[in-house]
Amino acid sequence: MNHAILSLVTFLPAAGAVVLMLMPRNDHVLRWTALITSIVTFLFSLDIVRLFDYSERGFQSNMDINVPWILHVIHYHLGVDGISMWLVLLTTLLVPVSVLVSWKSIHDRVKEFFVLLLLLETAMIGVFLALDMFLFYVFWEATLIPMALLIGMYGHERRVYAAVKFFLYTMVASVFMLAAIIWLYTHTHSFDYATVRQWIADGNANGGSTLQWLFLGFFIAFAVKVPLFPLHTWLPDAHVEAPTAGSVLLAGVLLKMGTYGLLRFNVGMFPAQAAANAQWINVLAVIGIIYGALVALVQPNLKKLIAYSSVSHLGFVVLGIFTLTQIGTDGAVYQMLNHGISTGALFMLAGMIYERKHTYEFKEYGGLATPMPVYATFFLFAVLSSVGLPLLNGFVGEFLVLSGTFQSPLPHSMLFSILGASGVIWGACYLLWMYQKVFYGQIHHAENKGLADIDRRERVSLVPLVVMAIIMGVVSPFWMKSIDPSVGNTIPKAAVAKTKACPGQCAPAAEASVLHKISATLAGEKQ
Amino acid sequence: MVPLSWYLILSAILFSLGVFGFLLKRNIITIFMSIELMLNAVNLSFVAFANYWNTHQAKLASGANVVPLSGHVFVFFVMVVAAAEAAVGLAIIISVFRTRETLNVDQVNLLKL
Amino acid sequence: MNPIQTVDYIRILPELVLGAFGIIVMMADAVLKPGQSRKSLGLISLVGACAGIAATFCQIAWMHRDPSFTDPGWFGMVRVDNFAIFFHLLIPAISAICILASLEYLDAQNIRSGEYYALILFGTVGMVLMSSAIELVLIFIALEISSISTYVLAGYRRRNASSSESSIKYFLLGSFATAFFLYGVALMFGATGSTSIPEIRAALAAGSPNLLAIAATALMIVGLGFKVASAPFHIWTPDVYEGAPAPIVALMSTGPKAAAFAVLLRVLFATTQTEWFWLIWVSAALSMTLGNFGALVQNNVKRMLAYSSIAHAGYLLVAFAAGGDTGKSAAIFYTAAYAAMNVGAFAVVSHFAAGGERYVSLDDYAGLGRRSPLLAFTLTIFLLSLIGIPGTAGFFAKYYVFQAAFTGHSGALIALGIIGLINSAVASYYYLRLIVLMYMREPVMAETPASATAAMRLALVLAAIATIYLGVVPNRVLNSSQAGAQDLDFTNPGKIVYHIGQPVAPATPER
Amino acid sequence: MIIHQILFIIFGIICVAGAVNLLVQRHPINSALSLVVVMASLALIYLLLGAEFVAAIQVIVYAGAIMVLFVFVIMLLNAGSEERTRGSHIALFIGVPGVVVLAGTVAWLLIHSGGQLGSVQISSSDFGNTQDIAHLLFKDFLLPFEITSVLILIAIMGAVVLGRKES
Amino acid sequence: MNQNLNLWVIPLLPLIGAAINGLFGRRFKNAVVSTVALLFTAASFVWALRAVWTAWPGGGISLPYIESHGTWITAGSFSAPFGFYLDQLSMIMVLVVTGVGFLIHVYSVGYMAHEGGFYRFFTYLNLFMFFMLTLVLANNYLLMFVGWEGVGLASYLLIGFFFQKDSAANAGKKAFIINRIGDFGFLIGMFLIIQHFGSLNYADVFGKIASGHYAPELGWGLFTAIGLCLLFGATGKSAQVPLYVWLPDAMEGPTPVSALIHAATMVTAGIYMIARSHAIFNLAPHALEIVAIIGCLTAIFAATMGITQTDIKRVLAYSTISQLGYMVLACGVAAYAAGIFHLMTHAFFKALLFLGAGSVIHAIGGEQDMRRMGGLRTKIPITFWVMTAATFAIAGFPPFAGFFSKDEILGATFHSRFGGPVLWVIGVITAGLTSFYMFRLWFMTFFGEYKPGAVDEGEEAHAASAPAHAAHTTASHSHGHADDEAHGHGHVHESPWIMLAPLVILAVLSVVGGWVGIPQFMSGGQNHFEHFLAPVMESGPPTSTQAAVPVTGNDTISTHAGPPSEENAGQEWLLAGTSVAAAVIGLFFAWLLYFKRRDLPGRIATKIHGIYLLVLHKYYIDEGYGAIFVKPLLALSTVVFWHGVDQGIIDGLVNGAGSTSKGIGNELRRMQSGNIRSYAAWVAVGGAAVVAIMIWLGVGR
């Protein structure tokens, strides 16, 4: 049973999708079936937590499943560690919520919608659990279709452009990853993550330039998904046009697939390259943080603003991962979960107002706190969680990321940390600006006066996220005790040590000299 | 004694003339005839090579003798195929002529781009 | 003692069965009234195609009984080995699905002549024979059988100008290319003294590089390259596919192509790979690029799929360039995968085209996801497979090809692999366009598409199942293709990988 | 043996001349007749090569049957002189040079390897006799021979299908 | 020591109150809401009293008392607990916060009685209490940061309480964002501390500093860097130059909020933080110097701006900034105890002033413009008297509370090497200005004639030239008090007792609150306050650091702990006298200009029109920030980043790649001319190429 749990969680939604496909088109029944399927999946996924063995730093051997699939080299290999476990749970949590939020907003082609949603869930879970690179790629690509269809079929005016852009961007990028995977296979004759990782660690790859290319192959695929500046332009379009559930899952889970990949593959498999490339990647991450925030600041459209805020937030995650420090990476993983919760909630809230107003433009809003106080309160929670208010989840991640960056031995990381920390200012700027635009002031549009506040179903769908935001903000060790060892198992030790050893570039030394300079100057003044 | 290469070059010339015919003639039937010309050129090569192998009795890699006459047999089959092609080809030409009222290939260009 | 033994007849059993059914169809046609629907003939021919598959199973049974079965038969004319068996199963299956798709199509186009099915069956005879023939004479004749039948079938909508144009173009250019092929055969005969592939192989392996043989190979590549529609000999494809009846395009884009690839495999790997490596490299790169970029701007579904088929020929040639057991095996597997998805796609096209093939523009596909969910769904599967989305035949086939390319560890091959991967990403755009139209646009076509007949549904479901099967659990087929690849060198007696009613022996890990 | 060379040159020139005439003539009938000339002289060259059987069927099947079919169709369709339309610049400006290159390469190759190949001669009179061919055809090449029936069947059927009047 | 104080209860109680009111308050009656809020605040106060009582120095508990309740954040080697910390410093803070906080809660029940969103108000207020208590009770910087950010949030919510008013919403947002800018500095400071001390716990950090467990070659520069970062944080929270701009706008909030958050408690968090980190600052004399300068600058700068304001709450706001400047100055001269002392007294009298102002506003129906007041002395006598006490206290008249604390600071400034006479002079001038504008307020509000609806003739022209200001005053009309409009003008009434009682208590405290810290030279005994805090403040730098930091002699970082010697007593008296004199001068001018010769201000204003306008518009700092930071940033984001980079370059490239591909496709398909001969030509050319390439390569081989 233990060995089946991962497969069960992965394929239960797909099974549900098949059942849905065969059911008659009774929308109500379909909705309930989808909801029940996703909730049952969530409950099963809780069992993973129950079975989790905290004494094991790497992948959990008690849940591991590894059977030959194609030609004895491609395996059906699922495994979970402290990093992927929570991402799976995030997925299984967000899907029922997405089902709820689509309850009424989807009234046309309901069956297709839920089928796609559940298929998407299977693919997403699979991405996090797959330990065979071929299988990983299969799931990775499998997320594309349902998502693109969700955007394209149920989206808004420019949905087709957005769907195609999303699809092509990610498709083109993941091709490079496929090339890298195949290359690795042809040299290692294995797709197994651990095997290949060991092969590289043993120094079997001849020459750093090959590894550099492989690193880049994986990196491009993940960077687009994250999305890292300057590969982010698909995101605003996709988000704005996507239906609410699509946005929630896109921001909540799909983007995490990118950062998860960066951590698992780019850092986990190519530690030396990760250290060598961390510089410019961190530059991009920091640009992403600031750039995303600044562009978010001037968006006239609610969803676009949230989309750009994702660019900014995911910049933190990437920054944390490529500090290659325990603290920074812990924070990054935690931030992945946080972002899923808070941005997921924001998109749901945006969807609820869209259902009432059929627009995301700020100029159509204003003063909504008066007719919709409960809604405004939920929104405030999501905003604060996103802003990174202490005791809510966002803070823990951001703090750890920045703190880790600050202490990273990589060169210039202090500067990155300081620039990244300016993100806390930008975050407040655009989110409060948004909140004010939507909720404060007088009501300018007469029809807004009569807007109905959110109903019971909508509250039910929001409550889990709000509760999670608080719990994760207060008792983060509950998560950290499993994340921390797994991160320690993933991030390189040798690579960082190596960087540390390099003369002249070593950060503490550089920083020491800076401080020394300051003190010398000040001393000179004094004398 | 005629050098083999003479025959082969004659064959190549005829083949090229056939290709030129295809490229330059406008009438579909003539183009088809050009193809026949090409096939004839090939036949000439076959026969010449058959004669050559007959002159130079050699062993194949597998140890069997070279069978020079298989060149002749090949020519025989080429002719059969040419005949069959001619039947079908001319039927197609008739069919084209029925729908287009022309035999000029330059005017048979409905499908393009 | 009769030099022709029973086993020799078994070696051509599928051809015999198919031919017999072809003749039955012809005879039965004469019995039917002129204006009557030819559905019954279609069913007979369907049985024939299935009987062809059954005959192949009979061959497999013989294979188990008689180890000498895989020896050349008919005085060195045919060799029914794992390689041939693969295509003996594949090609009649393609024909069967095409026949299923034709049942409805012929009625819709008001075509009432039973020769159609007979031609398909006879063409299948040629194709099947191409895969087992190891003598250039027989290959040539088999090639002509399959070609001539498709020339005729392409022009089957006789009242339609574009159909006959398609036919004449195919015919003239096909004959033109055949002449090149023949010229190559002639030179090869001159160079080696034989037209038997094993002999040629042995001669070339033994002797020093022979310019005449090289020229011969080049000319044969021209002829066969034309048949498989690889650049720069692809030029006929879009026009012919556009004009020909849709089910026939389904057939000729897969069946004769698969057979031609089989011949190409037999011929090319009988010669020295280094001689044609760069040629195939360039051809593969060109095919992929020209095909995909050409398809980007098409507005006619059939034309678009024609360009896509050029591109897929390119992917297949990557496997040729890669060579080695993996490369050959990848090429063999690709033919099957491509057949599954492309037959399906054209079957859907033939359904939606309706009478007179009116609706073949991309825009006509708008909103089909709503109007014909099943057909749109299956077409989506085929398109996804053509894109190369994991879980479908197209993905695994492509993956396998690129894996073969990377296995070479040579810069040129890796470069080719990368070109291929980028191309497949570009290609996703135009396939996606169709999906987008079906699911994300509202219908513009006033006419509601007719619902598909049971036969059509069956055809689509079968093709879809094959597509998914090859993508998810390709082990069985992979084993066969690997064994087939090993049989291409004619030396080993060939281990038997086909089993009837027995579990598949575990395949050896690829190295 | 100089006589062989002289005969080859004569027939070769006739062949080429006929082929060129095929290109030059504008009426298909004239082209067809030129082709007959080519085929006939080729038959004679076959004889020079000792291929009596092939020479015979060249005349009977090719020059006889096939060309008659051509002439028949030309007459049937009442094809006139061909118009000098300018349909394809590519054929002229790319195709022709291409073919020149092709022919040049092949010719160079043949001359180059001609030395290795040596010469041909009319060998012992029993080479290429019908009996040997028959042995070959009905034993070694039995399968192709039989399969040809399918080819011909298809050809007949195709011709019938395409040529048949619309019902 | 073994006794468990359960400090965690103190912040938790208001949180429970906030939760109850927040979740269910909408269905409660106002009475229930206020009961809940008051109950939990009072309980918190009582618990705090109990804790302080138990832990009082000399009791059974050794200070600092630390308790820990599990881990909040942990990652790698780093971890931060939910831990609480009680020493003399936090005792004072916790009592001030809960005490004043409770009084203001009581007051609010009356003040907010007629406002919408009653439950919301008390939810926020309780939430604020929770965060503020977390801030002062935390045992590590990270938890302090929780409170730090949290009070910012509460402030945001409460400033924007009347969210339908754009100005209120804007002010809330501005407060939060500017606080965030400060928080940024705090964060960096924390990163530096983690990096070098591996922990954020006070005990660890200060312990390591005390024992010299830090890299000596880093020490000095490091502490300067940390100090400056923390100072930056403090400038945000405590409204110092250059980040003070949010505080005047924060007056958009209800008046009790201004009293509690923007006068008594939250804004003093920065001072608390600096005092808490004195161990770090003591090792960073340059940072201290900058602290002192910023404090002094803020004090005088804000005081000048206070002079021209006509909105009663804004005057108090600038006054608050100015007083906070004093406190920061005190910290800057290492007189932390004096800073905390002033913090405490200021909490009493400034809270009182705000509440009094609230009472005035309440009395006259929501009017905040002092030019429309006057003569209220008789109409609301109790308010008048308590306000008088507070005014004298802030102006620094002995024996009011403000005198002692201010004098303490000025004295320390004079003696300190960081301060010296220059800063002292500025401080004294500021004291004079404080006195002036406070008595200006006093006279304008309570003396003369009551003139509702009027604008002083003398200032009318200038008021008109300040449209923003005018708009503000009209806007304040329209806020929640609109329903009081009926009994607004001409129907001036004293506030109910629920509002007056806190006023009275605070008034008493304003008078006597300073007596706990009567300096030695006056009383002859010891300065009790300073003595009380001494154990905290003296746990400063050990002498061993001297070697590591040669440029900073131990004398420079004296903590102003030692009592001045007998010979200095005269000088002390002189200094005290000077500051009192300054206050008297201020009082005189205020009397002259706003009581005796009420036409004079207008005439002076016209005479020095430029300067007047400059000051009236607060030196155009807001506009300057707008022009220098906000507008260019928005333009940059819109034009360059969004339209330029995003849509122009990146999407341009992406879409360009698409259209280029299509273009290539279009070119390529021209090959497909439809002409068979052309096709044959391609095949032939292809064939030629194939043969040629293969032969060529074959020959080459």
What is the value of ipTM here, to two decimals?
0.88
Task: Give E562's pLDDT tier (boundaries 50, 70, 90).
Answer: very low
Q: From CA D12, how far away is CA D45, in angstroms rounded?
A: 8
Q: What's the confidence (pLDDT) of residue C255?
A: 92
Q: What's the confidence (pLDDT) of residue C492?
A: 63
Would an 8 Å CB–CB cutoff place E649 in contact with chain D? no
Which residues of B lie closer than 8 Å to E, measured between beta carbons? Answer: 19, 22-24, 26, 31, 105-106, 108-113
Q: What's the confidence (pLDDT) of residue E117?
A: 82
Distances (CA, A) of C159 to B70, B109, D163, D164, E302: 43, 16, 12, 12, 96
Average pLDDT over residues C322-331: 89
User: What b/e string do you get for C198-221 counting C-beta neighbours within 10 Å, with b at 16 or more?
Assistant: bbbbbbbeeeeebbbbbbbbbbbb
Which tens digits make up the pLDDT trace of A467-508?
999 999 888 888 888 888 888 888 876 444 444 433 333 344
Task: Give A407's pLDDT tier (boundaries 50, 70, 90).
Answer: confident
- Minimal Cβ distance to D151: which of C35, C115, C148: C148
Which of B16, B32, B52, B76 has the most D C-beta neighbours within 10 Å, making it the best mutation to test the interface with D?
A: B76
Nearest to C357 by CA among C264, C248, C511: C248
Which tens digits make up the pLDDT trace of A13-23?
999 999 998 88
Q: How far is E220 from chain A (nearest CA, A)?
A: 7
Nearest residue of E to residue A396, measured between CA atoms: E73
Average pLDDT over residues A39-66: 88
Nearest residue of A to residue E148, measured between CA atoms: A390
8 Å CB contact between A144 and A119: no
Which tens digits make up the pLDDT trace of C253-267?
999 999 999 999 999
pLDDT > 90 in chain A, percent: 31
Query: Which residue has 């279709």 as its token pair?
Result: A145
Which tens digits make up the pLDDT trace of E165-182?
888 888 988 899 889 999
Task: Give A281's pLDDT tier (boundaries 50, 70, 90).
Answer: very high
Across the interface, do A71 and C417 touch by the CB < 8 Å criterion? no
Across the interface, do A153 and C390 touch by the CB < 8 Å criterion? no
Nearest to E560 by CA among E399, E417, E426, E385: E417
Q: What's the confidence (pLDDT) of residue A11?
A: 92
Nearest residue of B to residue C297, measured between CA atoms: B113
Q: Is the model's pLDDT at B94 over the cut of 80? A: yes
Q: What's the confidence (pLDDT) of residue D120?
A: 67
Q: What's the confidence (pLDDT) of residue D119?
A: 67
8 Å CB contact between E94 and E48: yes
Q: What's the confidence (pLDDT) of residue E556?
A: 40
Q: From CA B69, how far away is CA B55, in angstroms rounded?
A: 12
Distances (CA, A) of A36 to A99, A119, A436, A464: 10, 15, 37, 16
Give Dmax (Cα) for chain C. 72
Q: Is the model's pLDDT at A65 over the cut of 80? A: yes
Across the interface, do C211 and D157 touch by the CB < 8 Å criterion? no
Contacts B–E by Cβ distance under 8 A:
34
Which of A138, A177, A190 has the most C C-beta neighbours within 10 Å, making it the best mutation to test the interface with C?
A: A138
Distances (CA, A) of A274 to A279, A318, A492, A502, E358: 9, 12, 9, 16, 61
Which stretch of A206-215, A249-258, A290-299 has the lowest confidence by average pLDDT?
A206-215
Q: Is the model's pLDDT at B109 over the cut of 90? A: no
Would an 8 Å CB–CB cutoff place D77 in contact with chain C? no
Listed as own residue / partner, the contacts of E239-244 with beta carbons closer than 8 Å and 24 or more positions apart are E239/E267, E239/E298, E239/E320, E239/E321, E239/E324, E240/E270, E240/E294, E240/E295, E240/E298, E240/E321, E240/E324, E240/E325, E240/E328, E241/E294, E241/E297, E241/E298, E241/E301, E243/E178, E243/E181, E243/E182, E244/E298, E244/E302, E244/E321
E339: left (phi over 0), alpha (psi -120 to 50) or beta: alpha
Tokens of C449: 């598409």
Contacts of C161 in chain B (CB under 8 A): 99-100, 110
Contacts of C206 in chain B (CB under 8 A): 61
Q: From CA C273, how far away is CA A347, in angstroms rounded?
A: 58
Q: From CA E242, how far away is CA A287, in angstroms rounded?
A: 27
Q: What's the confidence (pLDDT) of residue E474?
A: 39
Across the interface, do E692 and D94 touch by the CB < 8 Å criterion? no
Nearest residue of A to residue C395, measured between CA atoms: A138
Q: What angle do CA E536, E537, E541 make, to 5 degrees?
A: 115
Across the interface, do A164 and C436 touch by the CB < 8 Å criterion? yes
Q: From CA E91, how far away is CA E232, in angstroms rounded?
A: 25
Average pLDDT over residues C32-48: 87
Phi and psi at residue E84, to the nearest 5°: -120, 155
Q: Which residue has the higher pLDDT, E297 or B113?
A: E297
Which tens digits make up the pLDDT trace of D96-122?
888 898 888 888 888 777 666 666 666
Contacts of C126 in chain D (CB under 8 A): 150-151
Q: What's the confidence (pLDDT) of residue C68?
A: 83
Q: Is the model's pLDDT at C143 over the cut of 90? A: yes
- Minimal Cβ distance to E687: which of D87, D90, D102: D102
Contacts of B57 in chain C (CB under 8 A): none
Which of A519, A521, A527 has the most E C-beta neighbours within 10 Å, making it the best mutation to test the interface with E?
A: A519
Q: Are strands B2-3 and E65-75 parallel, antiparallel or unpaired?
A: unpaired
Q: Is the model's pLDDT at C50 over the cut of 90? A: yes
Task: Give E215's pLDDT tier (boundaries 50, 70, 90).
Answer: low
Q: From CA B95, how far away is CA A185, in angstroms rounded?
A: 55
Residues 6+ apart with CB under 8 A from C207: none
Q: What's the confidence (pLDDT) of residue E549?
A: 38
User: What b/e string do you get for C121-140 counting C-beta neighbours within 10 Å, with b at 16 or more?
Assistant: bbbbbbbbbbbbbbbbbbbb
Nearest to A173 by CA among A144, A195, A151, A207: A144
Chains contacting B with at least 3 CB pairs below 8 Å? Answer: C, D, E
Chains contacting C with at least 3 CB pairs below 8 Å? Answer: A, B, D, E
Which stretch of A31-45, C71-85, E589-603 has the lowest confidence by average pLDDT?
E589-603
Q: What's the confidence (pLDDT) of residue D18?
A: 93
Q: What's the confidence (pLDDT) of residue C495?
A: 64
- Minimal Cβ distance to C148: which of D112, D144, D158: D158
Task: Give E487's pLDDT tier (boundaries 50, 70, 90).
Answer: very low
Instruction: Please give the span between the terminal C-alpha atoms of chain B, in angstroms, as a whole number.
Output: 53
Residues 6+ apart with CB under 8 A from A502: none
Highest mean pLDDT among A268-272, C226-230, E641-645 belongs to C226-230
Which tens digits make up the pLDDT trace of E406-462?
888 888 888 877 667 888 888 889 998 889 888 888 888 888 877 776 654 444 444
State the average pLDDT for chain A: 86
8 Å CB contact between E475 and E165: yes
Across the interface, do D98 and E684 touch by the CB < 8 Å criterion? yes
Average pLDDT over residues C462-483: 91
Across the interface, do E176 and A230 touch by the CB < 8 Å criterion? no
Q: From CA E541, how far away is CA E283, in angstroms rounded?
A: 7
Q: Which residue has the higher pLDDT, C70 or A508?
A: C70
Q: How far is B58 from chain D (nearest CA, A)?
A: 13
Q: Is the model's pLDDT at E463 over the cut of 50? A: no
Across the interface, do B104 and D96 touch by the CB < 8 Å criterion? no
Q: Is the model's pLDDT at C244 over the cut of 80? A: yes
Nearest to C209 by CA among E695, D115, E687, B53: E695
Neighbours of C476 (CB within 10 A): 16
Q: Which residue has the higher pLDDT, E525 or E52?
A: E52
Which tens digits make up the pLDDT trace of C488-508?
887 765 566 676 544 444 444
Across the interface, do A295 and E641 touch by the CB < 8 Å criterion? yes
Which of E685, E690, E695, E696 has the most D C-beta neighbours within 10 Å, making it the best mutation to test the interface with D?
A: E685
Judged by DSSP in three states, A192 sits in strand
Cis? peptide before E242, omega within 30° of 0: yes
Nearest to A171 by CA among D51, E369, C426, E392: C426
The single-letter DSSP state of residue A251 is I
Nearest to C511 by CA among C418, C403, C414: C403
Q: What's the confidence (pLDDT) of residue A363?
A: 86
Tokens of A493: 């030790």
Average pLDDT over residues E138-157: 90
Q: How far is C506 from chain B (nearest CA, A)?
A: 35
Average pLDDT over residues E264-285: 87
Across the interface, do B23 and E684 touch by the CB < 8 Å criterion? yes
Cis? peptide before E535, omega within 30° of 0: no
Q: Is the model's pLDDT at A510 over the cut of 80? A: no
8 Å CB contact between A268 and A197: yes
Contacts B–D by Cβ distance under 8 A:
268
Q: What's the confidence (pLDDT) of residue B113?
A: 73
Q: From CA C314, how far away is CA C422, in angstroms rounded?
A: 13
Q: Which residue has the higher pLDDT, C447 or A215?
A: A215
Task: Give C270's pLDDT tier (boundaries 50, 70, 90).
Answer: confident
Average pLDDT over residues A104-130: 90
Q: What's the confidence (pLDDT) of residue E76?
A: 81
Identify the sign of the CA torsion A413, A416, A422, A428: negative
8 Å CB contact between B36 and D35: yes
Q: From CA A305, how far away is CA A184, in angstroms rounded?
A: 40
